[in-house]
Structure 1
């Protein structure tokens, strides 16, 4: 659903003044400055403080994989060494017990499934839902790199699926974010050009996630979850067996009937377009009831699969919403 005109009381200027958004944020077209802005905040929620990861993923698993991941060297046995790591060949050759040493792997792949389907290009107050998705993706990406993890992206647009391979290098992440920006802005312009038509959304790239994600990866789904099917649920359930998955739903205040706007506006949805009178409380109540029913279906699906679920509004700055997690 696309709301053609924003309500008159847009809090974007106030949000910028409060420091919650980069000064270059427009609310629709993305810029690299507003995504780099989140780098400053990436370490705020990392351990030993109470971490954002622990809130988003239940508990973000340690990036250490465990013993024996990568062979390092052999040295003479010392009291306390694990006898299972004795190198018997070297021991037999030298006549003295020697132990194999291993270095532990400190990279945990984090994959962000970023939904940029047409339904995300809606915003009634502060930002488009698609922009808030990208803001969240940026914050999570900077956090992953600050935590020593690699981060990759699968971006779902109406035109296709774009895969960006994982990296833990800042320079590469900047390139990744720039690619996300270009895809987002191109999809926005396309959406504006064909706003009287609804493109058929691409299938969720669950099979691609299975292919590219090493076992034990963290997978975070960023979407409004307006287009999921039974196939999506069964595929995601299978994926859940080998990975830690988290779902974050982005929504707009208008979808829950929360708006100060009073008047009639044309709204585009999957079945065409309609004129809605927001001066009527019944209209706002119907919007809220429809959203709650949809949200409950999504939550029930994910809860059944054991996937943690949370919501982020695009009507309020991201950091302001996450501020309570810092405590």
Structure 2
């Protein structure tokens, strides 16, 4: 059964109404009954996880104070016992890594991968606003990085949506105007990781939304640095054609930004080679995540986002691409 596009969507270009549509759907994941983390990870996560205690002030010790909170330096200097006071850290920044690079500007059925990425980014942004946390983003265009610092309230979510619409549509227009045989130079994935390490406050939730085509074993040291002080999550966006899953049986001139060639989709061997390459990439991605204890979830750009996240009673997609 052919799926209908989400409201206001074309599947290729983006508009603000299309992204604001997800603001009304945050009610599906409001705590304490549900959370978006439970949908992405497959298990319930506490809304307060990752928050700690921030130092507030030092005052003179009073009866009943916890002796473990005594500030011994001030006590020694003044000759009187003083204790440290702490307040609970309520605000937790959420930083989205949003991949709009060349490999994401592709889709064979319903949406471009970049469009599905933007849809999920909008939903996560509005969920963060509802939970009264700051939301920021690093948008990776492949050849440049756009930093959006964590901002509280609706301003942060709206800024991200506006940037996604503008940057995606400009990239699509350039893609249509460029000669497909022209080589395209992109920044290594490590450049994005270095930028995230600099821009993310400690204790952030960092959610990567990408097809991870540029992720390699060489990225593990930088990923480990980020993971030491932050909570991380990978969301892998894929298209069925990448697995050789298509009803098209003709020949097509295709490019990945680096190489161009004719592919005959009528040949079983062609489709099998695509599937083998996809599984090799997916296995490498899963191996990195398993070794580093990074949760990962795969989402197809050929199905509606809300269906896959469980907002509707429809089957979801597992990281292997199978229905579950």
Normalised by the shorter chain, which TM-score bucket?
Answer: 0.7 to 0.9
1:165 offset after TM fit, Å?
0.6
1:254 offset after TM fit, Å?
0.6
Structure 2 residues without counterparts, runs of 5 or longer: 75-80, 315-324
Change in CA separation of 1:198 and 1:295 when aligned onto 2, cut-off 3 Å: farther
Alignment correspondent of 2:51: 65
1:274 offset after TM fit, Å?
1.9
Alignment correspondent of 2:94: 110
Alignment correspondent of 2:142: 158
Change in CA separation of 1:183 and 1:270 when aligned onto 2, cut-off 3 Å: closer
- Counting only pairs closer than 5 Å after superposition, residues 113-192 of structure 1 correspond to structure 2 as 113-192=97-176
SS at 1:132 equivalent? helix
Change in CA separation of 1:65 and 1:240 when aligned onto 2, cut-off 3 Å: closer
TM-score (normalised: structure 2): 0.83
Aligned counterpart for 1:246 among listed residues 233, 256, 273 = 233
Instruction: Say whether residues 1:48 and 2:26 are aligned partners.
Output: no
Query: Whole-Å Cα distance in 2 between the matches of residues 70 and 277 of structure 1?
Result: 66
1:46 offset after TM fit, Å?
2.7
Alignment correspondent of 2:21: 37
Aligned counterpart for 1:257 among listed residues 244, 267, 287 = 244
- Counting only pairs closer than 5 Å after superposition, residues 219-234 of structure 1 correspond to structure 2 as 219-234=206-221
Aligned counterpart for 1:15 among listed residues 4, 8, 12 = 4
Query: Per chain length, whose mean CA-contact separation is higher, i.e. which structure has more relative contact order (CA < 8 Å, sep 6+)?
Result: 1
Decide whether the 8 Å contact of 1:220 with 1:245 is kept in 2.
yes
C-alpha RMSD over aligned residues: 3.1
Instruction: Say whether residues 1:275 and 2:262 are aligned partners.
Output: yes
**Per-residue CA distance 1:121-142 (angstroms, 9 max, x = gap):** 1110000011111111111111
Decide whether the 8 Å contact of 2:233 with 2:295 is kept in 1.
yes
**Per-residue CA distance 1:232-266 (angstroms, 9 max, x = gap):** 22211222122111111111111111112222222
Alignment correspondent of 2:187: 202
Instruction: Say whether residues 1:285 and 2:269 are aligned partners.
Output: no
Query: Whole-Å Cα distance in 2 between the matches of residues 123 and 301 of structure 1?
Result: 26
Alignment correspondent of 1:92: none
Query: Whole-Å Cα distance in 2 between the matches of residues 68 and 156 of structure 1?
Result: 32
SS at 2:310 equivalent? helix
Decide whether the 8 Å contact of 1:64 with 1:104 is kept in 2.
no
1:172 offset after TM fit, Å?
3.5
Instruction: Say whether residues 1:266 and 2:250 are aligned partners.
Output: no
Decide whether the 8 Å contact of 2:56 with 2:84 is kept in 1.
no
**Per-residue CA distance 1:75-111 (angstroms, 9 max, x = gap):** 99797x6566689x9xxxxxxx999865423111111
Structure 1 residues without counterparts, runs of 5 or longer: 1-8, 90-96
**Per-residue CA distance 1:125-183 (angstroms, 9 max, x = gap):** 00001111111111111111111211110011133111001112113421221012111
Query: Whole-Å Cα distance in 2 between the matches of residues 300 and 66 of structure 1?
Result: 31
Instruction: Say whether residues 1:296 and 2:314 are aligned partners.
Output: no
